[in-house]
Structure 1
Amino acid sequence: MPSAVLLTLLAWALFLALCAGGLWWLYRRPPQVTLHRSVAPAGRSGQTLPLEVRAEISARWPTRVILLDPVPRGLISSHALQLGGLLYGESCHTLTADLSLMRRGIYNWDTATLRWADPLGLFWHSAQLTVPLQVAVYPESHGLFLPELLRPLLSEGQWARDHGLSDPLSLRGVRPYVLGDPLRQIHWPLSARALSLPTGAAVPVVREPEKMASSSVTLYLDTSGTEVYLESAVRLVASLAAQAWADGLAVALATSAGTSTPLGRGPQARRALLTALAGLTPDYSPPALRPPRTGTNLLVVTQQAPPALVRQTLEARVTASRAALIALPEGFYLEPGERPRKQWIGVPDTVRALEQQAGVLAERGVLAFVLRGNQSVLRLHR
């Protein structure tokens, strides 16, 4: 009798083992899954983009399926991108969410995870699905008006005389004062000489500067600084570029890491520049500022203002219409709306040397701005 019971148990064990082996064999291969993500390829930091994930699943047998599609770190989905259930045959599933872009960067969203099992859930398998997608998160920009002295100017003949911007460095002549003329344009030596004439024969005279047509902006970003500096510098460069485009100017970007973008004002040039800014990381290569396009306005952003970069900026001034060197010694500045904060340390020796040389540099056509951590970026407007 015991032998019969034992044989029965062995038979059942063998039967169950065969069933389990059959289940494992039938479900060793994954169901066919096609995954599609629909989202804008780029957006600004802090922006929210609509996201749609569509999964087409084909299962030959009743199958338990779990599909996980986690977003890259630095992006946040409004809810988990996950679906699952007991599926059979062909089915289509759609998930929608809001994708929040938290940090600047280039994010490669390449994989998703598929888990599947038999209907009893005895044997679970896992596989990675390759679904390449790249999302560029552009840096934030803030309100900023290009200072008049930072506007690029390039002479273009008679048209510029009539329609261009006033260039305070180029004197076209003088004329009698007219009510409403800015007092800063009065030519005091000539006015004093005229006032010495008999009463009634003298009126003040004002300078009449040349009119110059706008050209382009070349932005050079020194990436050899701290991570805090790079984030602030990237936002400053993005803001300068945005304002230059708003003024109808063509913009190009170059960095000490070797990145460069084509000069332009159209959508393609804008995407190239913002994508380059999105992917920047600290790089401590020596500065390599190449001579910019003739007539462009050169803006150099740096943290330490190394002597080599100052020298290269002076050399670039030969072809640039104007040049400005903006140093951020603490690595950050007060953006519009931020409250002042105390600074407990002094500027580096290289930045102190830049401040001491500011007058000499200005005479050679290079404006030097030192923007401390407790100073507003609007200080550049002056």
Structure 2
Amino acid sequence: MRFRGRLGDFPWLEILVVIVLAAFTRSPALIALGAAGIVAWSLVEVTGRLALRAVEVTATLEPRRLIAGETATLTVRVTNRKPLPVPWMELTVDLPDGIEPLGREPGTRAVAVNAGFAPRGRERLTLRFPLHVRQRGAYVVGPMHLRAGDWLGFVQDDREVPLALELVAHPAPIGVVDRHLASLRPVAESATRRGLVPDPLRFRGVREHRGGDPMKEIHWKTSARLGTLQTKLYEPATSLDAVFLVNVASYDQYWIQIDPEGAELVIAATAELVRFAAEAGRQVGLVTNGLDNITHERPRSALARGPRALTRSLDILARLGPYAVAAPETVFLKERGRLSSGATLVAVTPNLRPRLASALVVLRRSGHRVLALTKDPPEAGVLLRLRAADVSTVALDVGTLGAGRWRRAV
């Protein structure tokens, strides 16, 4: 704990005057009053200085990752290891903007949670504070402040306990009316994997020969070594794995943010699709032109499968700010060489402007399947160009009360 200051003071000057008068006048009343003052001053000094001595405080926050709108629990354990009781103690934990105590009064803003108690000697107390996380983001809860005083209430000791509990709130999911529309399931299961076109230049391995396999696909050397016919396997020319291209810029001058609500919608829609892709067992990756609110760098997530890949992508979306580091077309084309061959690219953007549309056409010609999700419908010329290049376009429309509604644009 770090000492912050001592508040209040004992009226020792008045007691000193009483003692001097008692010495000159020999008055029994003044002598008794002076003696009582000395005893009170000693009690105040001793108990005031020992109020926060041998007091240990620990805090935990669970869960450390949640979805915006859910509740986390801050648990504080206070242990008074000395035999002396503390007549009163006040504990305060600072809260960042976006986190508030559960059940607070409407229209009020709480910047901290606090509690008052009186621990007895060698007593351990556990305090629990339910916290409501209003919006996505990365937060740090803390520091903590402790205040306690002497037994007579003349002085207060104020100390700060270093505390930095990190919490990440992932974007809340938005409702989807119909996930079974093909254009709204860019990363969902197809009827069969065999519908994907194999690329003969991307040899993957062999398997046992089955009836109906073409003779030209038999791997003769391996068949001779194993003693049974083996058929060649190839990676598909396009895969169902998805890399999400997230654009938070809503204007050609990317450094100007005129539609923060549109950026939030883009982030929420991306989080919904990332969850859906991960649940379907697909590899997911993420590229964005936005800035991380904590590191102030442009984050990215390589294509991977599993819970860690999902958490990594959702963490990026949770910490993503509304401001862009570069134009989306510049970032997406720069990442072209790092994109997995044949992966489906899902561009989620507030709008589709001509430059971004041109970049998506280039990516489509590079052998990727490209799907663009946009908040605002694209212009007719842009839409015709995307159609000609076989780039699918879907508009996202969100209704009242935060409910999401997806509809076809083409």
Aligned counterpart in structure 2 of residue 305 of structure 1, from 352, 355, 361: 352
TM-score, normalization: structure 1?
Answer: 0.69
Within 5 A, what are the aligned runs for 1:150-189?
A: 151=186, 163-164=192-193, 166=195
The answer to whether the 8 A contact 1:59-1:87 is kept is: no
In the TM superposition, residue 324 of structure 1 has moved relative to its aligned partner by: 1.9
SS in 1 for 2:60: strand
Q: Could you tell me which of 128, 145, 160 is aligned with 1:113?
A: 145
TM-score, normalization by structure 2: 0.65
SS, match of residue 262 in structure 1: strand
Cα 1:371–1:253 change in 2 (3 A) is same
The answer to whether the aligner puts 1:65 opposite 2:89 as a matched pair is yes
- What is aligned with 1:322? 369
CA distance in 2, matches of 1:363, 1:213: 19
Q: Which residue of 2 aligns with 1:251?
A: 284
Q: Distance in 2 between matches of 1:126 and 1:146?
A: 60
What is aligned with 2:68?
45
Measured in 2, the distance between the counterparts of 1:306 and 1:24 equals: 72
Change in CA separation of 1:75 and 1:247 when aligned onto 2, cut-off 3 Å: same
| Pick aligned residue for 1:96 from 113, 128, 131 | 128
Cα distance, 1:224–1:37 mapped onto 2, change above 3 Å: same
Q: State the 1:268 CA deviation.
A: 0.7
Q: How does 1:1-382 map to 2 (within 5 A)?
A: 4=25, 9=30, 12=33, 16=37, 19-20=40-41, 23-24=44-45, 27-28=48-49, 30-31=52-53, 32-59=55-82, 61-63=84-86, 64-78=88-102, 82-144=114-176, 145=179, 147-149=181-183, 151=186, 163-164=192-193, 166=195, 214-225=239-250, 226-257=259-290, 258-287=298-327, 288-289=331-332, 290-291=335-336, 292-329=339-376, 351-352=378-379, 355-371=380-396, 377-380=405-408
Of 233-242 and 59-68, more deviation after overlay is shown by 59-68
CA distance in 2, matches of 1:6, 1:221: 86
Q: Take 1:24 and 1:165, find their aligned partners in 2: how far apart are those partners?
A: 83
Q: Structure 1 10/325 Cα, relative in aligned 2: closer, same or farther at 3 Å?
A: farther
Cα deviation, residue 37, structure 1: 1.7
Provide the C-alpha distance between the structure 2 equivalents of 1:357 and 1:381, rounded to a whole number of angstroms: 12
List per-residue Cα deviations over 1:266-324 (Å, max 9, x = no partner). 11111111111111111132221121221111111222434433333223224452112
Equivalent residue letter for 2:307: P
Q: What CA distance in whole angstroms lies between the structure 2 residues aligned with 1:286 and 1:124?
A: 53
Structure 2, unaligned stretches of length 5 or more? 1-20, 105-112, 198-235, 251-258, 291-297
CA separation in 2, counterparts of 1:57 and 1:380?
64
Structure 1: stretches of 5+ with no match in the other structure: 155-159, 169-210, 330-346
- Asked whether the equivalents of residues 398 and 406 of structure 2 are also in contact (C-alpha less than 8 Å), the reply is no
CA 152–138 in structure 1, closer or farther in 2 if over 3 Å, else same = closer
Tell me the CA shift for residue 54 of structure 1. Answer: 2.2
**Contact kept in structure 1, 2:94 and 2:142, CA below 8 Å:** no
Q: Say if 1:223 and 1:82 are closer, same or farther in 2 by CA, change over 3 A.
A: same
**Following the alignment from structure 1 to structure 2, what is the Cα–Cα distance between the partners of residues 286 and 11?**
80
| Amino acid of the structure 2 residue aligned with 1:137 | A
In 1: Cα distance, 2:85 partner to 2:144 partner = 22
* Counterpart-to-counterpart distance in 1, 2:181 and 2:409: 5
Shift of 1:65: 1.7
- Give the CA RMSD over aligned residues: 3.7
2:165 & 2:390 partners in 1: Cα distance?
46
CA distance in 2, matches of 1:51, 1:85: 17
Count of residue pairs brought into register by the alignment: 312
Give the superposition deviation at 1:244.
1.6
